[in-house]
Amino acid sequence: MWRKAATPHLNCQPSHAWDPKKIMIFDMFSEEFSVRPIPLKTCSGEMAYTLPDLSVKEDHLCLCHVSGYEQVRDIWILEDYDKWSWVRKYTVNLAWDTNKYPLKANARFSHFVTVVSIHKDELVLFWRYRGMFSYDLVSKSIERINLKKSEMDDYDNYSYDEYLSFSVYNATTSD
């Protein structure tokens, strides 16, 4: 065992203790948790149903959010960790050609778009019921990434995040 540590007291079940307007941070040097606000200024009713995605772009924390009412995904970059200073760097229009990229009927829009990764000027999105896409943040062009069909594609559960999720972590910058 590395070391003994006291068991922290929790006044609720951890899986139910989330707040869509905050980011929990663990400082590996001080070994302490803290909570910081996200950069979005929006009403709590909308936020309750559209949790933002966190990602990393060139060693900067990114927050990607799609409004429950608009077909737009904003990408915020944390430019200064000490001052907790965020800048909205990109706005991605998700109103794509439904003939070319059909969306399943009655699918709720914002709940099915997940950021897989952001690298240089490429945003990779997984859009449930549509597929995986590469989006060029400069030219604003979109291209489908062809994947093998999975049995999970037809699994119809609105809390699918418990079953289908992506997590990308870039520990070092190689370029």
Locate the domains of the chain by residue range: 19-152
**pLDDT per position in the chain (175 positions), as tens?**
666 766 665 555 555 556 667 888 888 899 888 889 988 775 555 444 456 778 888 888 988 877 666 678 888 999 998 899 999 998 888 887 777 877 766 655 555 778 888 888 899 988 877 888 999 999 999 999 887 776 655 655 554 444 444 444 434 344 4
Helix (H, G, I), strand (E, B) or coil at 159: coil
Residue 37 to residue 22: CA distance in whole angstroms: 4
What is the per-residue DSSP string for 109-129?
SGGGEEEEEEETTEEEEEETT
- Classify each residue of 4-29 as buried b or exposed e, where b means 16 or more C-beta atoms within 10 Å of its C-beta: eeeeeeeeeeeeeeeebbebeeeeee
**What is d(CA 70, CA 46) in angstroms, rounded to the nearest whole number?**
11
Strand 85-93 vs strand 72-80: parallel, antiparallel, or unpaired? Answer: antiparallel
